[in-house]
Amino acid sequence: MQVVRADYRSPELSTALTYRYGRQETEQLKQRLDDHGFAVAAMPDDVEPHTAVERLAATLGLGQPYIASLYQREDTKEHGAAYTDVRSQASSDHPAFGTTAGQSMHVDGLLEPIGTVRTTVLYCVRPALSGGRTVLFNSTAAFEELRRRDPQAAGPLLDPGVLRRRSTLPNVDADHVGPAFAYREDGLLITRYAEGDTVEWRAPDGRSADLERALAFLRAAGEDKRYSVALRLEARQVLVFRNDVVSHGREAYRDDPAAPRHLIRTLYLETPR
């Protein structure tokens, strides 16, 4: 993948491709994913949202949607679905799906080992009245830059005990510990870099100062337009991104009570092929 050399300042990245499931359009979408880790497409307006996502996944060869491990449990399965509705609901106790609050940087699949959930699809049924942009952070590119500049600081981020992520669902005790970054056998750098309430950083013995430098670098990179872009999806637009290569978050938003923001999220264990 070329994403570790991508520059997110290019305005064309947030321009939606017109997508009608054609072969040439599919190849163009795949190329953007390979080059930048994400792609935005405008889907047909005569296809029902779930059908549009299903057809897109089939065309890209993503296989069946995956329900994250956190939502396969008896005490959490009410929040789990192959097609997850992301919208504000007063009755919801989910700290992210059911609120208008912002979301810190993360990757999907909180309990999964690094690289498990490889692709995320977000279909916009209806945007927010204001706010609610999805923020994509090219964390793998930022890590490679850190490793070039300060390899001593980058080292702890590869440690298998450096990052603990835990559930913030009420009365749910679940967590997973692993590296923040790792290299697959084929050489691809993958990520589970995250921040916020779900995160606990654990420096290897004697490496606290190195880890602090590394995190300071990544947090600064998250504000750098070379590595970060905020996208507002309009109705019938879909965002496809490599969840194993880029991290993402969400800005807080304000709803129109008569037409609240509504996105559909699906996760996949495969990448486009």
Q: Above 70 in pLDDT, residue 58?
A: yes
Question: Residue 90: what pLDDT?
Answer: 60
Q: Is 230 exposed, middle or buried (0-12, 13-18, 19+ CB in 10 A)?
A: middle
Contact 118, 60 (CB under 8 A): no
What band does 220 get if pLDDT is binned at 50, 70 and 90? very high
Question: Mean of the per-residue pLDDT values for the chain?
Answer: 95
Coil, strand or helix: which one is 209?
helix
CATH (residue range 10-268): 3.60.130.10
Question: Residue 91: what pLDDT?
Answer: 61
Q: Kindly list the domain boundaries of the chain, sorted by start residue.
A: 10-268
What band does 79 get if pLDDT is binned at 50, 70 and 90? confident
pLDDT tens, position by position, 133-186: 999 999 999 999 999 999 999 999 999 999 999 999 988 999 999 999 999 999
pLDDT tens, position by position, 177-188: 999 999 999 999
